[in-house]
Structure 1
Protein backbone atom coordinates (compact mmCIF):
# COMPACT_ATOMS: atom_id res chain seq x y z
CA UNK A 1 0.00 0.00 0.00
CA UNK A 2 2.86 2.35 0.80
CA UNK A 3 4.38 1.81 -2.68
CA UNK A 4 1.05 2.71 -4.30
CA UNK A 5 0.92 6.03 -2.39
CA UNK A 6 4.44 6.89 -3.53
CA UNK A 7 3.50 6.00 -7.11
CA UNK A 8 0.41 8.30 -6.93
CA UNK A 9 2.49 11.12 -5.39
CA UNK A 10 5.05 10.79 -8.18
CA UNK A 11 2.30 10.92 -10.80
CA UNK A 12 0.73 14.07 -9.38
CA UNK A 13 4.10 15.74 -8.83
CA UNK A 14 4.77 15.55 -12.57
CA UNK A 15 1.25 16.60 -13.55
CA UNK A 16 1.36 19.75 -15.69
CA UNK A 17 5.03 19.37 -16.50
CA UNK A 18 4.57 17.51 -19.75
CA UNK A 19 7.62 16.73 -21.85
CA UNK A 20 5.64 16.77 -25.10
CA UNK A 21 6.98 18.69 -28.05
CA UNK A 22 5.53 22.14 -28.51
CA UNK A 23 5.61 24.10 -31.74
CA UNK A 24 4.30 27.31 -33.22
CA UNK A 25 0.92 26.87 -34.93
CA UNK A 26 1.71 28.94 -38.04
CA UNK A 27 5.11 27.31 -38.59
CA UNK A 28 3.58 23.86 -38.14
CA UNK A 29 0.67 24.54 -40.50
CA UNK A 30 2.99 26.02 -43.16
CA UNK A 31 5.25 22.99 -42.98
CA UNK A 32 2.34 20.57 -43.08
CA UNK A 33 0.75 22.50 -45.96
CA UNK A 34 4.03 22.40 -47.88
CA UNK A 35 4.27 18.62 -47.50
CA UNK A 36 0.69 18.04 -48.66
CA UNK A 37 0.67 20.71 -51.37
CA UNK A 38 -2.04 22.77 -49.65
CA UNK A 39 0.08 25.79 -48.70
CA UNK A 40 -1.18 28.86 -50.59
CA UNK A 41 1.16 30.31 -53.19
CA UNK A 42 1.13 34.00 -52.22
CA UNK A 43 2.89 35.39 -55.34
CA UNK A 44 0.43 33.48 -57.53
CA UNK A 45 -2.48 34.79 -55.46
CA UNK A 46 -1.23 38.37 -55.89
CA UNK A 47 -1.32 37.88 -59.66
CA UNK A 48 -4.70 36.13 -59.84
CA UNK A 49 -6.68 37.56 -56.90
CA UNK A 50 -4.97 40.56 -55.20
CA UNK A 51 -7.75 41.13 -52.66
CA UNK A 52 -7.60 37.55 -51.45
CA UNK A 53 -3.79 37.64 -51.43
CA UNK A 54 -3.77 40.74 -49.21
CA UNK A 55 -6.21 39.11 -46.80
CA UNK A 56 -4.18 35.89 -46.63
CA UNK A 57 -0.84 37.70 -46.26
CA UNK A 58 -1.84 40.43 -43.79
CA UNK A 59 -4.90 38.84 -42.17
CA UNK A 60 -5.05 36.20 -39.46
CA UNK A 61 -3.78 32.70 -40.17
CA UNK A 62 -6.96 30.74 -40.62
CA UNK A 63 -7.37 27.10 -41.67
CA UNK A 64 -9.38 28.27 -44.69
CA UNK A 65 -6.23 29.41 -46.48
CA UNK A 66 -4.99 25.82 -46.64
CA UNK A 67 -8.16 24.89 -48.53
CA UNK A 68 -7.51 27.32 -51.43
CA UNK A 69 -5.37 24.92 -53.47
CA UNK A 70 -4.04 21.39 -53.43
CA UNK A 71 -5.81 18.31 -52.12
CA UNK A 72 -9.00 19.08 -50.26
CA UNK A 73 -9.54 22.27 -52.26
CA UNK A 74 -12.81 23.95 -51.27
CA UNK A 75 -14.65 26.44 -53.46
CA UNK A 76 -16.03 28.31 -50.45
CA UNK A 77 -12.58 28.98 -48.95
CA UNK A 78 -12.20 32.34 -50.73
CA UNK A 79 -15.53 33.61 -49.43
CA UNK A 80 -14.78 32.26 -45.95
CA UNK A 81 -11.45 34.12 -45.84
CA UNK A 82 -12.93 37.40 -47.10
CA UNK A 83 -15.81 37.29 -44.59
CA UNK A 84 -13.99 35.95 -41.52
CA UNK A 85 -13.85 39.38 -39.82
CA UNK A 86 -17.60 39.82 -40.27
CA UNK A 87 -18.22 36.49 -38.55
CA UNK A 88 -15.84 37.50 -35.75
CA UNK A 89 -17.44 40.88 -35.06
CA UNK A 90 -21.10 39.92 -35.55
CA UNK A 91 -21.52 38.03 -32.23
CA UNK A 92 -20.33 41.12 -30.34
CA UNK A 93 -23.20 43.18 -31.73
CA UNK A 94 -26.09 42.16 -29.55
CA UNK A 95 -28.59 44.84 -30.54
CA UNK A 96 -29.28 47.20 -33.38
CA UNK A 97 -28.75 50.82 -32.43
CA UNK A 98 -30.68 53.40 -34.39
CA UNK A 99 -28.68 56.15 -36.00
CA UNK A 100 -28.54 59.26 -33.84
CA UNK A 101 -30.29 62.33 -35.18
CA UNK A 102 -27.87 64.96 -36.36
CA UNK A 103 -28.38 68.45 -34.94
CA UNK A 104 -29.22 71.22 -37.34
CA UNK A 105 -26.38 73.47 -38.56
CA UNK A 106 -28.12 76.44 -36.93
CA UNK A 107 -27.85 74.71 -33.56
CA UNK A 108 -24.07 74.28 -34.01
CA UNK A 109 -23.72 77.94 -34.99
CA UNK A 110 -25.71 78.97 -31.91
CA UNK A 111 -23.39 76.90 -29.68
CA UNK A 112 -20.29 78.46 -31.23
CA UNK A 113 -21.64 81.99 -30.75
CA UNK A 114 -22.86 81.39 -27.21
CA UNK A 115 -19.36 80.64 -25.88
CA UNK A 116 -17.94 84.14 -26.64
CA UNK A 117 -21.12 85.68 -25.22
CA UNK A 118 -20.75 83.70 -21.99
CA UNK A 119 -17.09 84.67 -21.83
CA UNK A 120 -17.99 88.34 -22.32
CA UNK A 121 -20.69 88.11 -19.64
CA UNK A 122 -18.22 86.52 -17.21
CA UNK A 123 -15.62 89.23 -17.76
CA UNK A 124 -18.21 92.02 -17.35
CA UNK A 125 -19.35 90.66 -13.99
CA UNK A 126 -15.83 91.00 -12.58
CA UNK A 127 -15.66 94.74 -13.45
Structure 2
Protein backbone atom coordinates (compact mmCIF):
# COMPACT_ATOMS: atom_id res chain seq x y z
CA UNK A 1 0.00 0.00 0.00
CA UNK A 2 1.24 3.40 -0.99
CA UNK A 3 1.16 6.17 1.54
CA UNK A 4 -0.53 9.34 0.47
CA UNK A 5 0.50 12.75 1.74
CA UNK A 6 -2.37 15.07 2.61
CA UNK A 7 -1.87 18.80 2.95
CA UNK A 8 -4.19 20.31 5.52
CA UNK A 9 -4.64 24.06 5.34
CA UNK A 10 -5.21 26.00 8.56
CA UNK A 11 -8.71 27.32 9.26
CA UNK A 12 -9.30 30.88 8.24
CA UNK A 13 -12.05 33.48 8.60
CA UNK A 14 -13.29 34.55 5.19
CA UNK A 15 -14.28 38.20 4.91
CA UNK A 16 -15.83 40.40 2.30
CA UNK A 17 -13.45 42.81 0.66
CA UNK A 18 -15.22 46.13 0.76
CA UNK A 19 -14.96 49.67 1.98
CA UNK A 20 -17.76 51.82 3.31
CA UNK A 21 -18.01 55.48 4.15
CA UNK A 22 -20.95 57.17 5.78
CA UNK A 23 -21.95 60.75 6.36
CA UNK A 24 -24.54 61.47 9.03
CA UNK A 25 -26.08 64.91 9.43
CA UNK A 26 -28.04 65.67 12.59
CA UNK A 27 -29.82 68.81 11.23
CA UNK A 28 -31.19 70.35 14.44
CA UNK A 29 -33.93 72.95 14.20
CA UNK A 30 -33.76 74.99 17.41
CA UNK A 31 -36.64 77.31 18.30
CA UNK A 32 -36.50 79.53 21.38
CA UNK A 33 -39.35 81.24 23.20
CA UNK A 34 -39.18 83.83 25.99
CA UNK A 35 -41.56 84.87 28.75
CA UNK A 36 -41.30 87.17 31.76
CA UNK A 37 -43.07 86.09 34.97
CA UNK A 38 -45.62 88.79 35.83
CA UNK A 39 -46.09 88.17 39.57
CA UNK A 40 -44.19 86.26 42.24
CA UNK A 41 -45.20 82.61 42.64
CA UNK A 42 -44.77 80.54 45.80
CA UNK A 43 -45.22 76.78 45.59
CA UNK A 44 -47.10 74.65 45.50
CA UNK A 45 -48.67 76.17 42.40
CA UNK A 46 -48.58 75.91 38.63
CA UNK A 47 -47.43 78.55 36.16
CA UNK A 48 -49.33 78.21 32.87
CA UNK A 49 -47.90 79.99 29.83
CA UNK A 50 -49.82 79.78 26.53
CA UNK A 51 -48.03 80.21 23.20
CA UNK A 52 -49.35 83.74 22.63
CA UNK A 53 -47.66 84.89 25.88
CA UNK A 54 -44.20 83.93 24.59
CA UNK A 55 -41.94 86.04 22.37
CA UNK A 56 -39.90 84.51 19.58
CA UNK A 57 -36.20 85.13 18.87
CA UNK A 58 -37.21 88.16 16.81
CA UNK A 59 -39.19 89.72 19.67
CA UNK A 60 -42.50 89.09 17.90
CA UNK A 61 -45.32 87.34 19.76
CA UNK A 62 -45.33 83.58 19.24
CA UNK A 63 -48.32 82.14 17.41
CA UNK A 64 -47.89 78.42 18.13
CA UNK A 65 -45.46 76.07 19.82
CA UNK A 66 -43.80 73.53 17.51
CA UNK A 67 -44.80 69.88 17.42
CA UNK A 68 -42.14 67.55 18.84
CA UNK A 69 -40.83 65.00 16.31
CA UNK A 70 -41.30 61.48 17.65
CA UNK A 71 -38.01 60.21 19.12
CA UNK A 72 -36.08 63.07 17.45
CA UNK A 73 -36.82 66.05 19.66
CA UNK A 74 -36.46 67.61 23.07
CA UNK A 75 -37.43 70.69 25.01
CA UNK A 76 -35.66 72.49 27.83
CA UNK A 77 -36.97 75.06 30.28
CA UNK A 78 -34.79 77.70 31.90
CA UNK A 79 -36.03 79.95 34.71
CA UNK A 80 -33.88 82.97 35.46
CA UNK A 81 -31.15 81.42 33.30
CA UNK A 82 -31.07 78.08 35.18
CA UNK A 83 -31.97 74.82 33.43
CA UNK A 84 -34.90 73.18 35.25
CA UNK A 85 -35.60 69.51 36.00
CA UNK A 86 -37.64 67.79 33.30
CA UNK A 87 -40.44 66.56 35.56
CA UNK A 88 -41.61 70.02 36.61
CA UNK A 89 -42.61 70.98 33.05
CA UNK A 90 -45.42 69.83 30.77
CA UNK A 91 -45.15 70.85 27.14
CA UNK A 92 -48.19 70.88 24.87
CA UNK A 93 -47.35 71.61 21.22
CA UNK A 94 -49.41 73.68 18.82
CA UNK A 95 -50.92 70.62 17.14
CA UNK A 96 -53.87 70.80 19.55
CA UNK A 97 -54.25 74.56 19.37
CA UNK A 98 -51.57 77.12 19.93
CA UNK A 99 -49.82 75.14 22.67
CA UNK A 100 -48.73 75.84 26.22
CA UNK A 101 -46.08 75.23 28.85
CA UNK A 102 -47.03 74.29 32.42
CA UNK A 103 -44.42 74.66 35.14
CA UNK A 104 -45.11 73.05 38.50
CA UNK A 105 -43.64 75.15 41.31
CA UNK A 106 -43.08 72.68 44.18
CA UNK A 107 -43.69 73.47 47.85
CA UNK A 108 -40.76 75.39 49.27
CA UNK A 109 -39.84 76.83 45.84
CA UNK A 110 -40.67 80.20 44.35
CA UNK A 111 -40.28 82.25 41.19
CA UNK A 112 -39.80 85.97 41.64
CA UNK A 113 -41.64 88.55 39.53
CA UNK A 114 -39.72 89.56 36.43
CA UNK A 115 -37.88 86.23 36.13
CA UNK A 116 -37.30 85.23 32.51
CA UNK A 117 -38.56 81.82 31.39
CA UNK A 118 -36.84 80.45 28.28
CA UNK A 119 -38.29 77.49 26.39
CA UNK A 120 -35.93 75.81 23.92
CA UNK A 121 -37.50 73.31 21.49
CA UNK A 122 -35.16 71.21 19.34
CA UNK A 123 -36.38 68.96 16.53
CA UNK A 124 -33.86 66.84 14.64
CA UNK A 125 -34.16 65.80 10.99
CA UNK A 126 -31.23 63.38 10.62
CA UNK A 127 -30.00 62.23 7.23
CA UNK A 128 -27.39 59.67 6.30
CA UNK A 129 -25.53 58.75 3.14
CA UNK A 130 -23.62 55.47 2.93
CA UNK A 131 -21.29 54.62 0.06
CA UNK A 132 -20.18 50.98 -0.21
CA UNK A 133 -17.39 49.98 -2.62
CA UNK A 134 -16.76 46.30 -3.31
TM-score w.r.t. the length of structure 2 is 0.18
Q: Which has the larger share of strand?
A: 2
Whose relative contact order is higher, 1 or 2, with alpha carbons under 8 Å and at least 6 apart? 2
Normalising by structure 1, report the TM-score.
0.19
Structure number with higher helix proportion: 1
